Amino acid sequence: MGHGPGLDTNETKENVIVINRRSFFGALLGIGTAGMGALLAVPVLRYVLYPLYTKAGLGEWSVVGPVDEFSDLAKPIRKTIDFAQRDGWREVVSSQSVYVTKAEDNQLKVISAICPHLGCSASWQNAQNEFVCPCHGGRFAADGAHVSGPPPRGLDALPHKVENGKLMVHFKYFRSNVPNQEVLG
Ligand code: FES
């Protein structure tokens, strides 16, 4: 009768300690699980978000050819280049035609063969000494400058460089039918 409250208090204390221990280990387990979850989530998130952080665009530089090949350039030379294009998780290799020509200052210039009017392929015509687009008759000079027809600008110049004796180009797509170059990718 008289020991009841004392025993109750001790039991209560033990219970509190046991509960506290349980809470402590429970919390520890919870933190560990959350930590592991966070660690595992990083690669998963990186995988899921990868395309968002990878600009859908093109690989950097493509080989046009040995630079010696263009040392005595009398007229534009057509070349097919390959470049890597990333679309989300996929990387596809595409080909495009470019022309190696000379700029006004006699330096090498690489231009896209894509007509800036509506995207047909312009080609060099020896007989006319001009680039001609077959779709709507756009004409361009040997350095790509617009001569006549509907295209609102000249053939697009592409960044190029010479590395280890090779002429390299960074292919880009540009918006059609606008007067100034606007890079699309
Ligand atoms: S697409 Fe070339 S002139 Fe129209």
| Cβ neighbourhood burial of 147 (10 Å; 0-12, 13-18, 19+) | middle
Give the CA dihedral 48, 174, 109, 126, nearest 10 degrees: 130
- Phi first, then psi: what are they for 127, rounded to 5°? -60, -40
Q: Determine the residue of 132, 136, 147, 153 to mutate for testing ligand 1's pocket, defined as the one with the most ligand atoms within 8 A of the Cβ atom.
A: 136
| Statement: residue 136 has pLDDT above 90 | yes
Where are the domains positioned within the chain? 1-53, 62-169
Ligand 1 center to 171 CA (angstroms): 20
Ligand 1 centroid to Cα of residue 138, in Å, is 6
Q: Of ligand 1's atoms, which has the minimum distance to the CA of residue 122? A: 2
Q: How far does the centroid of ligand 1 lie from the alpha carbon of residue 15, in Å?
A: 86
Does the global pTM surpass 0.75? no
- Indicate if ligand 1 lies below 6 Å from the C-beta of 153: no
For domain 62-169, which architecture applies?
Answer: 3-layer Sandwich (2.102)
CA distance 178 to 150: 11
Lowest mean pLDDT among 3-7, 31-35, 68-72, 79-83: 3-7
DSSP β-bridge partners for residue 131? 124, 140
Q: How far is CA 181 from CA 57, 123, 178, in A?
A: 17, 20, 7
Residue-wise pLDDT for 9-22, tens only, equals 555 555 555 556 56
For the cut 60, the answer to whether the pLDDT of residue 116 exceeds it is: yes
SS3 120: coil
pLDDT above 70: residue 147: yes
DSSP strands (E only) in 123-183: 123-125, 130-132, 139-140, 146-148, 157-158, 160-163, 166-169
Q: Partners of 132 in the beta sheet? A: 123, 139
Residue 111 confidence (pLDDT): 98
